[in-house]
Structure 1
Amino acid sequence: MKRDRISRAGLWAALVMVGLWPVAVGAEAVSLLGNAGFLPAPRAALLRVEGTGATGPSLFAGRAGAGLFAPRATPRAPALPLSGAHGAVARHLRDLIARAEAGPKGYDAVQHGARVAPPRPPTALTLAEIEEWIAATPGQPHAIGRYQVIPATLRRLARALDLEPQTRFSPAMQDRMADRLLAEAGLAAALAGRMSRADFMHNLARIWAGLPTASGRSHYAGVAGNRATMTWAQFEAGMAKILPL
């Protein structure tokens, strides 16, 4: 019996030493696999927009009051020089995109399918107020502004540009967001001759549904009522003036 008690004690000590026995009841489970190694397994994140009381995706995950967990950092697009000739190219591209996307309302445009409009013109709203409008009006389109930015893209751009919740959705801010998307589409490569104009045009059409592909149809034709609002010939003629071969 004495030998048996010693054997049991030895086994107990061995289990504790190698970590195979729970030291405390209710301890958080750990993951033995994956990139986390022996760190606690991640819990599902619930993000909250500060001041709204609504749960859901947040523009500002990781900031005080905005969310429990910050998302993985958005990859940075190459820096785009927007002065001189490059700035003029970006400005002309924004004008062409706005023709396809916003119509006469320009920076204050809201997707025509939105049954409930924002409480004030978009240029008078902060990013946090836009998020409140999105959360309060589920089940309708929420593309907004001169470049008809959809919620997921707006949130991603806010993170990438490190914007504060109280940043106003001003014309200058909308242009800055559009410039970021132009950079992601490959504007620097197109300007340097490393990307063909046609490839760049197709990249733009994958971002903005109002622009056509070479087929003449929107890349998102038939999805949520999307359609190209100009022909490929019109798109090509406009681009030829901006990016001549």
Structure 2
Amino acid sequence: MHRYISAFWIFVLSGFVMSGIGSASWAEQLPMADRASVFGKRQPLFATSGTAVAAPHNRSSLFAGQSAGSLLAPYPARAKQKPTSARFSLGMTSNSPLARIRHLIASAEAGKMGYDAVQHAAKRKPKKRPTDMTVQEIYTWIANTPGQQHAIGRYQFIPATLRRLVKKRGVSRHAVFDRKLQDELADELLAEAGVHKMMSGNLTRRQFMHNLAKIWAGLPTSSGESYYKGVAGNKATMSWAHFDSEMRRIFPS
């Protein structure tokens, strides 16, 4: 009897299982709420069309195409940088070789007055500061005060040299004798002394220094004395050792 009952239930259960094949499974026949209670909130292994698969938290796929977080993802776009142009003027920038030479010369020639320096022995000085005067006003001052020293400005231009440089560079007599003009005139003298030849290797630093001493009386020759020693009271205002060490700093090789 029990054997027949067992066979009966096996037959019933087999029919129930077979009824799900080829049609909706028993799980699909459950209401959605009941499905959730059976399967919980598990994510599908493969997403169907229109279904997004949630990526595991804080993990990235090695082969995730080009999505964010993938090792194959493209690098984020870099911000475009504005091109910078190097601005360097051999003579006008404060740290250029010519500017440093000018500073060295000024320390020997003009002292603390700098661009407004007037030769200390001049008894009748201009009524205006040199940087406020025009070239013509300086010429007039020179003409009206004969018999005295007239070296003027940061580089102590004497009258003959000033006139020659103004003419050579085509400077207007109405031009103001300001810092810019004074530096430009000094650079002309440096060029005449051979600064560009020296920088290109066609003149030794020592030869260039000797040429500078022939232009500016406050600079020493290798003897330690001014090239113009004994002329109009001229003398070197710095030692050769200092002059040489400073020039080596500006031009190491």
TM-score by length of 2: 0.63
Whether 2:240 is the aligned partner of 1:232: answer yes
- Choose the corresponding residue for 1:84, options 88, 93, 102: 88
Partner of 1:147: 155
The SS at the match of 1:135 is helix
For 2:147 and 2:127, locate their aligned partners in 1 and report how far apart those are by CA, in whole Å.
17
For 2:88 and 2:147, locate their aligned partners in 1 and report how far apart those are by CA, in whole Å.
43
- Listed one character per residue, the Cα deviations across residues 140-189 of structure 1 (whole Å, up to 9, x for unaligned) are 00000000000000000010010111011000000000000000000110
Partner of 2:213: 205
- Choose the corresponding residue for 1:161, options 154, 158, 169: 169
- Listed one character per residue, the Cα deviations across residues 76-101 of structure 1 (whole Å, up to 9, x for unaligned) are xxxxxxx7373300000000000000
For 2:118 and 2:149, locate their aligned partners in 1 and report how far apart those are by CA, in whole Å.
9
The SS at the match of 1:211 is coil
Shift in Å at residue 113 of structure 1? 0.5
Partner of 1:23: none
For 1:97 and 1:243, locate their aligned partners in 2 and report how far apart those are by CA, in whole Å.
15
For 2:135 and 2:89, locate their aligned partners in 1 and report how far apart those are by CA, in whole Å.
31
For 2:189 and 2:88, locate their aligned partners in 1 and report how far apart those are by CA, in whole Å.
19
Identity of aligned residues (%): 55
For 2:167 and 2:251, locate their aligned partners in 1 and report how far apart those are by CA, in whole Å.
30
Structure 1 letter corresponding to 2:137: E
The SS at the match of 2:176 is coil
Relative to 1, partners in 2 of residues 1:167 and 1:152: Cα closer, same or farther, differing over 3 Å?
A: same
- Choose the corresponding residue for 2:129, options 116, 121, 124: 121
Structure 2 letter corresponding to 1:210: G
Whether 2:102 is the aligned partner of 1:105: answer no
For 1:228 and 1:120, locate their aligned partners in 2 and report how far apart those are by CA, in whole Å.
28
For 1:174 and 1:217, locate their aligned partners in 2 and report how far apart those are by CA, in whole Å.
26
TM-score by length of 1: 0.65
Structure 1 letter corresponding to 2:88: G
Name the larger-Rg structure: 2
Structure 2 letter corresponding to 1:109: A
For 1:85 and 1:109, locate their aligned partners in 2 and report how far apart those are by CA, in whole Å.
26
Partner of 1:243: 251
Structure 1 letter corresponding to 2:100: H
Partner of 2:11: none
- Listed one character per residue, the Cα deviations across residues 211-245 of structure 1 (whole Å, up to 9, x for unaligned) are 00001000001111100000000000110011111
Name stretches of at least 5 consecutive residues in structure 1 with no aligned partner.
1-82
Partner of 1:135: 143
Q: Work out which structure has the larger RCO, using CA pairs closer than 8 Å and 6 or more positions apart in sequence.
A: 1
For 2:212 and 2:120, locate their aligned partners in 1 and report how far apart those are by CA, in whole Å.
22
Whether 2:187 is the aligned partner of 1:179: answer yes
RMSD over aligned CA atoms reads 1.0
Alignment: residue pair count? 163
The SS at the match of 1:86 is coil
Whether 2:226 is the aligned partner of 1:218: answer yes
Alignment of 1:29-68 (within 5 A): none
For 1:156 and 1:86, locate their aligned partners in 2 and report how far apart those are by CA, in whole Å.
23
Runs of 4+ in 1 over 2 A off after TM superposition: 83-87
For 1:112 and 1:209, locate their aligned partners in 2 and report how far apart those are by CA, in whole Å.
14
Name stretches of at least 5 consecutive residues in structure 2 with no aligned partner.
1-86
- Listed one character per residue, the Cα deviations across residues 5-57 of structure 1 (whole Å, up to 9, x for unaligned) are xxxxxxxxxxxxxxxxxxxxxxxxxxxxxxxxxxxxxxxxxxxxxxxxxxxxx
Structure 2 letter corresponding to 1:191: M
Relative to 1, partners in 2 of residues 1:85 and 1:137: Cα closer, same or farther, differing over 3 Å?
A: closer
For 1:130 and 1:230, locate their aligned partners in 2 and report how far apart those are by CA, in whole Å.
28
For 1:194 and 1:244, locate their aligned partners in 2 and report how far apart those are by CA, in whole Å.
16
The SS at the match of 1:123 is helix
